[in-house]
Amino acid sequence: MDEVDQRTAQRTATIEQARELPPGARHYRAYVGNPASYDATSAAQFTLMIALGLREDHKLLDIGCGSLCGGRLFIPYLRANRYYGIEPEAWLVEDGIANEVGRDLERMKRPVFRHVDDFSATEFGVSFDFALAQSVLTHVSRGQLERCLAQVSQCLAPEGLFAASFYDDGEAMYEGDAWVYPKFASYSVGYVAEKARQNGLAAFPLVWANSYDHYWMVFAHEGQADRVPWLGAVDGHPRMVRILELTRQLNDANREHAMTRRRLEQAESEISALRQGEPDT
Ligand SMILES: C[S@@+](CC[C@H](N)C(=O)[O-])C[C@H]1O[C@@H](n2cnc3c(N)ncnc32)[C@H](O)[C@@H]1O
């Protein structure tokens, strides 16, 4: 199969077939991450924004909205004209609407998209109550990170909140000047918080479910996050480092648990196959 045929086959694969594809493959569920956890990733970003206070009248900016993994829950929840997505890969949004949202709901809720890679959120001309970047700033260059924070700072309402996931492997930070994918760009909490501060945003660490060893930060204009009492300010590295350690331990334990379960299932099925071959007593 040549490359074009392979891409077509991947794009038209069923959801069951897509679960076997590697992250980054050309299916709308695989291109944006692990296709086997697409549903859990939808749920994690939706519940986070609800916990932060997202209501149906609010306007939400979904940066790097991909195939509407989050959008498939946000679009029905929000009233019309309130979901805005930025996504350079137009085909992802098309496939997300075709397979997850549906044309009727699109007509009813009128989500708005910009297919650009320069984070130009201000071009929507909207003041956003909430913004989200799930698994996007985990792949950006330093320049892109700054551009994103600068843009969000300008279009986030005075009381708005911006939630974004990040990656930190504890090693050297990413120095490249381009988007890196499906690999990750590592940035420390301190670096991200400082870049946010330079753009007039305060940064708050957050422990929230994700299956990728990522950490979450919530950003708000200075002095505006007090109404979310469970957000704690970044008061130095030790607290955040501990949160990251625990998040990693939790993710490792979950993975080990899943592997042990698989080994048990294999052993059980092997035993039952062997028993079927036992002579009757
Ligand atoms: C790992 S996926 C996550 C997608 C989505 N947020 C989700 O939860 O499934 C990263 C997304 O960012 C998009 N992307 C790449 N470069 C971008 C840029 N410069 N600005 C915004 N999004 C970008 C990719 O096309 C992809 O859809």
Domain count, the chain: 2
Using a pLDDT cut of 90, give the percent of the chain over it: 68
CA distance 115 to 108: 21
pLDDT score of 55: 97
Reading phi first (left if > 0) and then psi (alpha if -120 to 50, else beta), residue 165 is in beta
Q: Is the pLDDT of residue 231 over 90?
A: no
Entry pTM: 0.83
Q: Is the CB of 138 under 6 A from ligand 1?
A: no
Residue 215 pLDDT more than 90? Answer: no
CA-181 nearest atom, ligand 1: 1
Same domain for 140 and 251, yes or no, is: no
Q: Does 166 score more than 90 pLDDT? A: yes
Please state, for a pLDDT cut of 70, what percent of the chain lies above it: 88
Confidence of residue 264 (pLDDT cuts 50, 70, 90): very high
pLDDT higher than 80, residue 180: yes
Position 219 scores a pLDDT of 93
Clarify whether residues 180 and 115 are in a common domain: yes
Mutate to test the pocket of ligand 1, among 87, 120, 124 (most ligand atoms within 8 A of CB): 87
Cα 108 to averaged position of ligand 1 atoms, centre (Å): 25
**Average of per-residue pLDDT across 268-281:** 83
pLDDT over threshold 80, residue 213: no
pLDDT at 237 over 60: no
Number of Cβ within 10 Å of residue 159's Cβ equals: 12
Binding site membership of 33 for ligand 1 (Cβ less than 6 Å):
yes
For residues 145 and 256, state if they share a domain: no
Q: Are residues 264 and 171 in the same domain?
A: no
pLDDT digits (tens, 9 = 90+) for 121-138: 999 999 999 999 999 999
pLDDT band at 236 (very low <50, low <70, confident <90, very high): very low
152 lies in the same domain as 268: no
Asked if residue 120 and residue 61 are part of one domain, the reply reads yes
Query: What number is the average pLDDT over the span 82-111?
Result: 98
Mean pLDDT, rounded, of the chain: 89
How far does the centroid of ligand 1 lie from the alpha carbon of residue 136, in Å? Answer: 5
For residue range 134-153, list pLDDT tens digits in order. Answer: 999 999 999 999 999 999 99
pLDDT at 235 > cutoff 90: no
What are the backbone angles phi and psi of residue 215, rounded to the nearest 5°?
A: -115, 155
In a shared domain, residues 116 and 248? no
pLDDT in tens, 9-23: 789 999 999 999 988
Neighbours of 180 (CB within 10 A): 14
Query: Across residues 70-91, what is the average pLDDT?
Result: 98
248 and 197 part of one domain: no
- If you average pLDDT over residues 53-65, what whole number do you get? 97
Task: Give the per-residue pLDDT at 1.
Answer: 65
In this structure, the answer to whether residues 15 and 150 fall within a common structural domain is yes
Ligand 1 lined by 164 (C-beta under 6 Å): no
Range of 208's domain?
3-234
Please tell me the predicted confidence (pLDDT) of residue 27: 96
Residue 152 belongs to domain with CATH number: 3.40.50.150
**Are 140 and 258 in a shared domain?**
no
> Do 102 and 30 share a structural domain?
yes
Assess whether 207 and 271 both reside in one domain. Answer: no
